[in-house]
Structure 1
Amino acid sequence: MVSAAIALQWDLPSVVAVQHSIDPAREMLVRTVSDITGLIERVEIDVEHACTSCAIREDIVPTLERLAASGKWEAIVAQLPVTAEPMQVCRVVEGMPGVAPHVRIAGVIVALDAATLVDDLVGDDLVAERDLPVREDDPRGVAETTSSFVEYADVVALFGDADKRGLSLVKALARPGSLISEGTTGIDPVALLRGIHNHPEAEDWVSPVCLTPVVEPGASDVWTLDFRSDRPFHPGRLRERVEVLGSGHRRTRGCFWLPTRPTQVCQWEGAGGMLSIGTFDDWYDMRPHTRIVVIGTDEGRDDLEAALRSCLLTDEEIAKHGLRWHVPGDGLEPWLGPVDGVSEVA
């Protein structure tokens, strides 16, 4: 990302660059501000638990607002800590306009090493194993983190030579309409300053309840599975098969529902052999449904589809118990919390 930030500084007129990095061992946030004249400031700030959200709330967004409000520069290139999620900054700026009224997100750019795309997007390394954590106990995988960056970005800048499989993975993950660029050469500075970030579109694409069709990768060694059903998963069978469902060199995300929690949107997200499930929101006026999108490079697409299908309620189970079960628990409380009171179908 350093190379991309430097290139943008030269390509864009009157730019100030802000780089934030986190030292998890010292629980320290380091802020560096510079422009074409040189270093303007370098500050170290104590951040409890090296929390990214705290850093964004307490210094990153306030710094962007301070620099934007000064009127000294036409644009800011903000380089976040390596594994910090850009969507967190965008959500604060876009969702809380009073916090940073002078800041407008023109574009979100993720810079990747083209030579390691497959490992970075669907491999099984942890961020701690790559010396990339934002805190010492950071449990995240590199693949889930990097994949989410690609999915949210307006521009994916690839530095180096990408092989066919890696490029196909990026194309399958990236939001339709986003730019995949060789370095920063494909980025139009004028268009970038004018603004290429559409916040609602970016949020819709990464939402667990996204309804947009997936992009076919166009390569024989990368596959997609868009699993859809109006039926819920059986909580017991899901619990029994969750390790199998989350394994493999794959990126997987989406939503599902359960007869024990019929009003609740359950979120499904994982990559590189790691899978997490949790709660997202209520369905409200949306019809409950199950949609799991998987992009993979390994064998087993058909087996995975069969395993997902086997978790759905059967005709017999629906006929006998309905789609709303009144039970004290479903075995998924460690991930989804306690079962709320559920009324049986009248």
Structure 2
Amino acid sequence: MKDNPPLPVVIVAGLHADARTQVVEQLLHSVPGSVALHHNLATAADGTVQRTIRDAAGELSRDNAPLVNDCACCALREDLVPELERLAASGLTRLAVVELWDSVEPKAMAEVVTAHGDGVSLSNVITAVDPALVLPYLANGDDLSEAGLAAASTDERTVGDTFARQLEYAPVLALIDNPDADEEDRALVAQLHPTASRVPAIDCEQLVQLAFSTGFDVDTAAAAQHPACALLPQESEEAGVSTLVWRRQRPFHPERLYRALEDLCCAAVRSRGRFWLADRLESLLAWDAAGGALCVEYAGPWLASLPDAAWELVPPMRRAAAALDWHPVHGDCCQHLVFTSPGLDRDGLERLLESCLLTDEEYAAGPQAWRQLPAAFDSLLDPAS
């Protein structure tokens, strides 16, 4: 195996199964000697995950892998790397296309292949997208289990937040041609992930070029999604779709923000970013909402709360993000939230957000007084308390 050059591996992900299949077939027919691996997690209820390997002519093999810890995704991780290594060792495969099952997120699989694959090289990650389905999928707050798409019995993700992460992680979005898609649909895709390469799924030459990219950096991709240094979209307005970037350097009043959560997370089809609560001054909090469902999590300390010596241990992207938000008094502590949606009520949303900040009088009282404000977020951030 060591005598062979690394086997290029491209991951194709996405909840839009028909779009995903179209992209995979395009690659198989455009690259002689390519094969596609697919693990069907729908068979997990029977205690196995079904693996198929195919090329442009059809199916080459079909086998079952047992569940690991009652988790279909764990079985996928345990089975995928050995299969890729076997293909690499044969020296007969020019490109391995990993077609992920519907709700499997590419981040975890990209990191597994990069960390454990011997003789393979992850060249790129592509999410296949049907533009006409982006809005209905993002707006879908159903649990994956209700849709028959859960990857484990403990899977609590929703359709909307899963699709959002699939779309926003991949540096390449392959768009199929659906006559039902309009300018609003295409504007929504562009604003949700403005830095992605958006490629028509029928563009064989460009797809192949991206599949043989020089390499995919999982650390950079993870940092781009981490709330502390996310490459969040910029202000935009096109075809009835708006992106509002709201940045302030005054903390939220925890109780007023908590009361406004339902209205805020329903104000846009997608919102994300980082925020600052007056009673948790050192805590950088992550905001992640899709389909009317909101996830609020602790994402580490603000850099302003760390000793200078600790900065050397912080990744460069994190330091760069902090520098952009830096305030002479509060450091990088800030509100940086981004809302994207068709028909966004910008003025109403800004008024609601502003009403959740500390008033001038509350702000003037200072940090000691802020810490005494009602700890309204304890139930979300400290559920065990």
Q: Same fold (TM over 0.5)?
A: yes
Shift of 1:77: 0.2
Aligned ranges for residues 1-346 of structure 1 at < 5 Å? 1-23=20-42, 24-36=44-56, 38-52=59-73, 54-94=74-114, 97=115, 99-135=116-152, 138-159=155-176, 160-161=178-179, 162-176=181-195, 178-185=196-203, 187-195=206-214, 197-210=216-229, 212=231, 214-284=233-303, 285=311, 286=322, 287-322=332-367, 325-326=370-371, 330-337=375-382
Change (3 A) 1:49 1:78: same
In 2 relative to 1, CA 323–157 (structure 1 residues): closer, same or farther, beyond 3 Å? farther
Whole-angstrom distance in 2 between the partners of 1:65 and 1:330: 51
CA contact (8 A) 1:108 1:197 kept: yes
Give, in angstroms, the shift of residue 201 of structure 1: 4.4
* Partner Cα separation in structure 1 for residue 186 and residue 131 of structure 2: 8
Quote the Cα distance in structure 2 between the aligned partners of 1:213 and 1:152: 12
Q: CA offsets, 1:130-174, max 9 Å, x none?
A: 433323564433222222222111221222232111110100112
Counterpart secondary structure, 1:29? strand
Instruction: Tell me the alpha carbon deviations over residues 261-287 of structure 1, each in whole angstroms, 9 at most, x when there is no partner.
Output: 222221100112111111122223542
Which piece of structure 1 moves more, 36-45 or 246-255? 36-45
Assess if the C-alpha contact under 8 Å between 1:175 and 1:205 holds in 2.
no
Q: Quick one: distance in 2 between partners of 1:181 and 1:324? A: 53
Q: Summarize the Cα distance change of 1:188–1:330 in structure 2 as closer, same or farther, 3 Å threshold.
A: same
Cα pair 1:234 1:311 within 8 Å, conserved: yes
Q: Which amino acid aligns with 1:257?
A: W
List per-residue Cα deviations over 1:91-136 (Å, max 9, x = no partner). 3344xx3x22423221111112233222123344543454333235
Aligned partner of residue 208 in structure 1, secondary structure: coil
Aligned to 1:343: none
Pair 1:243–1:102, CA change in 2 (3 A): same
Distance of 2:82 and 2:103 partners within structure 1:
20
Asked if structure 2 preserves the Cα contact closer than 8 Å seen for 1:33 and 1:42, the reply is no
Are 2:34 and 2:93, in contact at CA under 8 Å, matched by a contact in 1?
A: yes
What amino acid sits opposite 2:190 in the alignment? K
Contact kept in structure 2, 1:61 and 1:89, CA below 8 Å: no
Q: Which runs of 5+ in 1 are unaligned?
A: 341-346
Secondary structure of the residue aligned to 2:357 is coil
Secondary structure at the aligned position of 1:105 is classed as strand
What letter is aligned with 1:192?
A: A
Classify 1:283/1:216 alpha carbon distance in 2 versus 1 (closer, same or farther; 3 Å): closer
Q: Are the aligned partners of 1:22 and 1:50 in contact in 2 as well (CA < 8 Å)?
A: no
1:68 Cα deviation from its structure 2 partner: 3.1
Distance 2:285 2:89 in 1: 41
Secondary structure in 2 aligned to 1:83? Answer: coil
TM-score, scaled to structure 1? 0.85
Distance 2:215 2:236 in 1: 24
Q: Aligned partners of 2:337 and 2:298: how far apart in 1?
A: 15
Whole-Å Cα distance in 2 between the matches of residues 323 and 14 of structure 1?
66
Q: Which residue of 1 aligns with 2:306?
A: none
CA–CA distance in structure 2, aligned partners of residues 328 and 257 of structure 1:
14
Measure how far apart 1:339 and its partner are. 11
Equivalent residue pairs, number:
335
Stretches of structure 2 that go unaligned for 5 or more consecutive residues are 1-19, 304-310, 312-321, 323-331
Quick one: percent identity of the two aligned structures? 31
How far apart are the structure 1 equivalents of 2:140 and 2:343?
11
2:45 counterpart SS class: coil
Which letter maps to 1:173? Answer: L
